[in-house]
């Protein structure tokens, strides 16, 4: 199993269906869990998918429509009952506090941990989270209410020491930090220079994950997510319903694929299916016609990056 995975807890849209749950995902990176959106039922899906509540560090909400955030009250309460003590950070558009503060007061006054709410300006891309493993920044989206996507970019060490080579050249330990910063080694005595390229290996490329839902088709966002390892893009409708997509601020499967293509994504995952579609085959076919490396999200799915 990879140490960077995306778990799909729900990939339906606003109306409840038997087939899908409302939007929620968990990004697992080096043992920590970051939730994106929290539709009703997300906490139970975590149990079903064996994702540990204790590893959840923060929740990122795309927008304040119920199918993306009505699972928060239950999840917050359960974490309290399970004895959480560490802060839980929830990041989302303005309105998050108006939604959650009354609930925290009414239902969660005896919890042993703190819920830290951060409201963001959805109109500009900005970094909203940073830790040892990842940088998470927002992606401005266009929907019927202020909405933002999220870009997860793994932190990697650009250079790794080639230990055998360092030993061969007798490099002292004290010089390692400078070498890992990319400097050549210069011996004190003989002014011998060992080029950095002989002492290091390049680390692997940083993996990244972009979540774009809910949104109209926004080709201008391509540079923001250029070369992303995996792009999740909503595909609420087929092109045959593109008028409806336009009216409601959603995308078609074709537009999701065009976005993946212009962003030069490695892979595309579609979701947020309208309740009118009883199967995802047609949506998937429409996207694959443009971007072959597309998959259709489903509850319980885990994608390794």
Residue 192 and residue 173: Cα distance in Å, rounded? 17
Instruction: Please choose, from the candidates 95, 230, 162, the residue with its C-alpha nearest in 3D space to the C-alpha of residue 72.
Output: 95
C-alpha triplet 114, 116, 120: angle, nearest 5°? 170
Residue 298 binds a second copy, judged by CB under 8 A: no
In sequence order, what are the residues at sequence separation of 6 or more whose Cβ sits closer than 8 angstroms to the Cβ of residue 262? 219, 222
Find the binder of a second copy among 5, 32, 57, 95 (CB under 8 A).
95
Find the binder of a second copy among 106, 164, 174, 243 (CB under 8 A).
106
Which residues on neighbouring strands pair with residue 273, listed in sequence order?
Answer: 12
Residue among 17 and 165 whose Cβ is closer to a second copy: 17
For helices 72-81 and 96-107, angle between their N-to-C axes, nearest 10 degrees = 40
- Considering Cα of 98, then 102, then 103, then 104, what sign does the dihedral take? positive
Residue 16 binds a second copy, judged by CB under 8 A: yes
To a second copy, the closest distance from the beta carbon of 78 in angstroms equals 6
Rounded to whole angstroms, the maximal C-alpha distance in the chain is 76
Find the binder of a second copy among 8, 23, 33, 73 (CB under 8 A).
73
Residue among 102 and 203 whose Cβ is closer to a second copy: 102
To a second copy, the closest distance from the beta carbon of 85 in angstroms equals 17
To a second copy, the closest distance from the beta carbon of 165 in angstroms equals 52
What one-character DSSP code corresponds to residue 12?
B
In sequence order, what are the residues at sequence separation of 6 or more whose Cβ sits closer than 8 angstroms to the Cβ of residue 53? 43, 46, 78, 79, 82, 84
Q: Is position 167 annotated as part of the catalytic site?
A: no
Token couple for 304: 């390794």
Q: What residues numbered 21-50 form the site for a second copy, per CB under 8 A?
A: 21-22, 40-41, 43-44, 46-48
Q: Are 169 and 117 in contact (CB under 8 A)?
A: no
Active-site residue identified among 37, 67, 121, 282? 67
Residue 279 binds a second copy, judged by CB under 8 A: no
Residue 74 binds a second copy, judged by CB under 8 A: yes
Residue among 54 and 102 whose Cβ is closer to a second copy: 102
- Interaction site with a second copy (CB under 8 A): 14-18, 21-22, 40-41, 43-44, 46-48, 64-67, 70-71, 73-74, 77-78, 81-82, 95, 98-99, 102-103, 106-107
Q: Which residues are catalytic?
A: 67
């Amino acid at each position: 199993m990879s140490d960077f995975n995306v778990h799909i807890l729900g990939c339906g849209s606003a109306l409840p269906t038997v087939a899908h749950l409302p939007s929620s995902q968990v990004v697992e990176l080096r043992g920590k869990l970051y939730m994106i959106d929290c539709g009703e039922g997300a906490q139970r899906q975590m149990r079903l998918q064996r994702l540990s509540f204790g590893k959840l560090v923060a929740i990122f909400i795309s927008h304040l429509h119920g199918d993306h955030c009505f699972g928060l009250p239950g999840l917050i309460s359960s974490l309290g009952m399970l004895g959480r003590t560490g802060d839980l950070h929830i990041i989302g558009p303005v309105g998050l506090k108006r939604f959650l503060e009354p609930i925290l007061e009414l239902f969660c006054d005896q919890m042993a941990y703190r819920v830290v709410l951060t409201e963001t300006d959805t109109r500009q891309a900005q970094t909203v989270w940073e830790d040892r493993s990842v940088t998470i920044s927002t992606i401005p989206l266009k929907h019927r209410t202020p909405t933002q996507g999220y870009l997860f970019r793994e932190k990697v060490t650009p250079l790794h020491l080639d230990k055998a080579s360092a030993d061969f050249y007798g490099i002292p330990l004290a010089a390692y930090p400078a070498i890992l910063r990319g400097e050549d080694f210069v011996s004190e005595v003989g002014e011998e220079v060992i080029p950095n390229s002989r002492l290091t290996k390049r680390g692997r490329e940083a993996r990244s994950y972009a979540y774009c839902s809910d949104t109209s088709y926004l080709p201008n966002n391509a540079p923001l997510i250029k070369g992303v390892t995996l792009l999740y893009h909503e595909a609420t409708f087929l092109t045959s319903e593109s008028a409806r997509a336009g009216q409601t601020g959603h995308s078609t499967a074709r537009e999701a694929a065009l976005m993946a293509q212009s962003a030069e994504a490695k892979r595309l995952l579609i979701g947020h299916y309208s309740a009118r579609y009883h199967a995802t085959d047609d949506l998937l076919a429409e996207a694959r016609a443009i971007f072959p490396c597309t998959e259709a999200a489903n509850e319980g799915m885990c994608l390794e990056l």
